[in-house]
Structure 1
Amino acid sequence: MEAILRRHWPEWNGTLQKRTGGWNNTTYFVKSARRSGVLRVYDTHRDRDKIEFEHTVLQALSKHSLSFRVPMPMRTVTGETVVQLEMEGGKYVCLFEYIEGKSPLEQDSSFAYSFGEVTGVLSAVLATFKLELTPVYRPYYALQQSYPLCNQEIVREVCLNPPEPLKALHDELRWIGKVYEEITDSLHALEELPHQLVHGDLNASNLLVKDSDHSQVTALLDFEFCTLDVRAMEPAVILSGFLGQPEETQAVREFCRGFCRRVHLSRTEIDALPVLMLLRKVDVFLHFLSRFLEGTDQPHVLQEQVKQVSADLLQLSTKGSWIQEELVRSDS
């Protein structure tokens, strides 16, 4: 990686420190006497179009005066923002300018209001974009097209007759399979909801808060999955992620207040929120099931995801309508 940095971004040459975590990419912090950056290696796909769309969105966002920062891809000596490695199976690499801030603590919900507000700002700005490039990622409701290894028959078989590594999770898989079948019948109706560009994966791990004030979000990160989707999918992803947190009630309420200051969803969109939140969790399951079937992950990864998704779906079955009511109250 140091050689790649010297060759393509010589002005950023410095020491590399590998960052832990992340399912889809490997990240290195780049530190030199003059500046700091973040080097990203895309591990799970070799699709240049996906990366170029992400960078186009980020460059368009940089032209707006935002109250928060987003990653800015740095150009190489030849003027590109992405490099393909000759080794590592042809993986792609890009460099971003470092953004000051820190990841919020899991038990901290003080940033929820600010998170809602900046998400609303982002949503409003993305709604105005008319980009020449076509998004590569499909909307959440296009499950069959997004996960060709996980068609309805395969998902049903895995959930009803788990393979050996998953046999101990029979009850959890039955519950996931039940919810999957239920939302499948609702997916077509989602196509009629208002659409726009959405980030699609906003959560606590993809934002930074100020070092001096953890209640203020200073940056939104990781736009890799940005695509054209249902507008209400953006808050649905975030709200579903608050479940199970120590202060989930406060977090949901404050996020809704902040978001509704900037975006007003229609009643039809709010009515769809419970299905959209369930869809997010089912999508996570299919993502990791696909990785398991193609041999990307060891069984223990899918086992942990099955436990988590099952628990989240159970919570949504009892709290989905309450979250919906909070959004209605905040929007009135």
Structure 2
Amino acid sequence: MLKSILNHYPLEYSGDIRQGASGWNNTTYFIEGSLHRSVLRIYETHRDIEKIRFEHAVLQALNQLAMSFSVPLPIQTMTGETMVQLEDGSGRYACMFEYIEGMRSEGESGRAAFSFGEAAGELLSCLAEVEPGVQPAYRPYYELPQSYPSCSREIVLKFCGQPPEPFKDLQESLSELGQAYTGMLQQLNGLGKLPQQLIHGDLNYSNLLIDSHDPAQVTALLDFEFCTKDVRAMEPAVIISGLLGQGNDEGREAVRLFCRGFGGRIRLTPEEVEAIPVLMRLRQIDVFLHFMSRFLNGIDGAEVLRKQVGYISSELRQLERNEGWFAEALMSDLHPKTSQL
């Protein structure tokens, strides 16, 4: 199957294949061609060609801008397309990107947090200039009720209040998630009035590369699959939510370093900064609905959702305990008056 995909590309991109890291939504392979090294990606969880076209249009536009880091560049097939439909009858699509030098960040030490902030702020500024020419395929985070058709309010609250058999022992965590979900629905109104633009929407340590000789330096930002038009402040909210971890001193220091790097690249309004804790909770609830939807649609087994319920409920508790600290940290590092520009 993989060889048949490579047949659609110029001969110099054919070569030895080895499997790379795989995420929840795609599988990757590295191709050692005669003249080029490339990355083959197979989209595993959707068959929507418009989503891929939008992602690739954004990446092609970003590659025309002068940035201090790299982003993936889609490789065209011999017919000028940037994707290939698999011939196995699954309806899945695959694409190839030019290989980018760098290594994955382990993320534990937070050494790259400041550089991550700088890169994320620079990317957000560049995305404000991008006109991909096609409409985004994904809804913004604040349109939570419309984003997951299989997770209506009634279904979510019943699932959290009366968990089915594989989840009965998670009653306490699911009850907390149900309450957080209800509270978030009441806070959605007004979020859409904040400044909006294209955002990456899923930046975290797994979606970046660092310099193998200088692990504190980010060299690339990856995986633009969920790029869409959304509230601008959602970008740092998503990243900070992941950086905080369990709320320990290391996580707090990583957040501070990220915010200082980010604040040196882009200004947020006071209203945007004040909204970040709410947007962080929105991110967590969105992740919960994402994996609940995958479970209900038969994409994942119960064990995947069970793990996510544990992670998300723990992170929401950490966010609640740290909210006072956030108000100080975010305002001091992201407020326009103190941004290092």
TM-score (norm 1): 0.97
Letter in 1 for 2:325: W
How far residue 168 of structure 1 moved from its aligned partner, in angstroms, is 0.8
Letter in 1 for 2:232: R
Residue of structure 2 aligned with 1:325, choices 290, 307, 328 = 328
Q: Which residue of 2 aligns with 1:133?
A: 134
User: Alignment partner of 1:29: what SS?
Assistant: strand
What is the rounded CA distance, in whole Å, between the counterparts of 2:242 and 2:323 in structure 1?
A: 12
Q: Which residue of 2 aligns with 1:256?
A: 259
Q: How many residues align?
A: 332
Letter in 2 for 1:17: R
What is the rounded CA distance, in whole Å, between the counterparts of 2:231 and 2:312 in structure 1?
A: 22
Letter in 2 for 1:286: L
Following superposition, which runs of at least 4 residues in structure 1 exceed 3 angstroms of deviation? Answer: none
Q: Which residue of 2 aligns with 1:285?
A: 288
Note if 1:296 corresponds to 2:285: no
The question of whether the paired residues in 1 share the 8 Å contact of 2:198 and 2:229 is answered with yes
User: Alignment partner of 1:30: what SS?
Assistant: strand
Identity score, percent: 52
Q: Which residue of 2 aligns with 1:229?
A: 230
* Range 270-279 or range 16-25, more displaced: 16-25
Q: Which residue of 2 aligns with 1:268?
A: 271
Structure 2 residues not aligned, in runs of 5+: none
Q: Which residue of 1 aligns with 2:165?
A: 164
Change (3 A) 1:10 1:248: same
What is the rounded CA distance, in whole Å, between the counterparts of 2:170 and 2:210 in structure 1?
A: 37
The question of whether the paired residues in 1 share the 8 Å contact of 2:42 and 2:95 is answered with yes
Q: Which residue of 2 aligns with 1:180?
A: 181
What is the rounded CA distance, in whole Å, between the counterparts of 2:295 and 2:239 in structure 1?
A: 25
* Range 123-132 or range 180-189, more displaced: 123-132
Alignment of structure 1 residues 78-117 onto 2, 5 Å: 78-117=79-118
How far residue 148 of structure 1 moved from its aligned partner, in angstroms, is 0.4
What is the rounded CA distance, in whole Å, between the counterparts of 2:76 and 2:135 in structure 1?
A: 22
The question of whether the paired residues in 2 share the 8 Å contact of 1:252 and 1:323 is answered with no
* Range 9-18 or range 64-73, more displaced: 9-18
How far residue 79 of structure 1 moved from its aligned partner, in angstroms, is 0.8
Note if 1:313 corresponds to 2:306: no
Change (3 A) 1:73 1:252: same
The question of whether the paired residues in 1 share the 8 Å contact of 2:51 and 2:137 is answered with yes
Structure 1 residues not aligned, in runs of 5+: none
Letter in 2 for 1:267: P
The question of whether the paired residues in 2 share the 8 Å contact of 1:198 and 1:234 is answered with yes
User: Alignment partner of 2:94: what SS?
Assistant: strand
What is the rounded CA distance, in whole Å, between the counterparts of 2:89 and 2:21 in structure 1?
A: 19
Q: Which residue of 1 aligns with 2:69?
A: 68
* Range 254-263 or range 80-89, more displaced: 80-89
Q: Which residue of 2 aligns with 1:46?
A: 47
User: Alignment partner of 1:240: what SS?
Assistant: helix
How far residue 2 of structure 1 moved from its aligned partner, in angstroms, is 1.6
User: Alignment partner of 2:8: what SS?
Assistant: helix
Superposed CA deviations along residues 210-231 of structure 1, whole A, max 9, x for unmatched, are 0000000000000000000000
Letter in 1 for 2:55: E
What is the rounded CA distance, in whole Å, between the counterparts of 1:324 and 1:281 in structure 2?
A: 19
Letter in 2 for 1:196: Q
User: Alignment partner of 2:163: what SS?
Assistant: coil
User: Alignment partner of 2:7: what SS?
Assistant: helix
How far residue 113 of structure 1 moved from its aligned partner, in angstroms, is 0.4
How far residue 320 of structure 1 moved from its aligned partner, in angstroms, is 2.8
The question of whether the paired residues in 2 share the 8 Å contact of 1:2 and 1:15 is answered with no
* Range 32-41 or range 244-253, more displaced: 244-253
What is the rounded CA distance, in whole Å, between the counterparts of 2:330 and 2:194 in structure 1?
A: 17
What is the rounded CA distance, in whole Å, between the counterparts of 1:87 and 1:260 in structure 2?
A: 47
User: Alignment partner of 2:129: what SS?
Assistant: coil
Superposed CA deviations along residues 21-72 of structure 1, whole A, max 9, x for unmatched, are 3000111111134221110011111111110100110011011110000000
* Range 322-331 or range 191-200, more displaced: 322-331
TM-score (norm 2): 0.95
How far residue 88 of structure 1 moved from its aligned partner, in angstroms, is 4.3
How far residue 250 of structure 1 moved from its aligned partner, in angstroms, is 1.0
The question of whether the paired residues in 2 share the 8 Å contact of 1:6 and 1:12 is answered with no
Q: CA RMSD in A?
A: 1.2
What is the rounded CA distance, in whole Å, between the counterparts of 1:88 and 1:187 in structure 2?
A: 40
What is the rounded CA distance, in whole Å, between the counterparts of 1:87 and 1:8 in structure 2?
A: 18
The question of whether the paired residues in 1 share the 8 Å contact of 2:62 and 2:130 is answered with no
What is the rounded CA distance, in whole Å, between the counterparts of 2:279 and 2:311 in structure 1?
A: 18
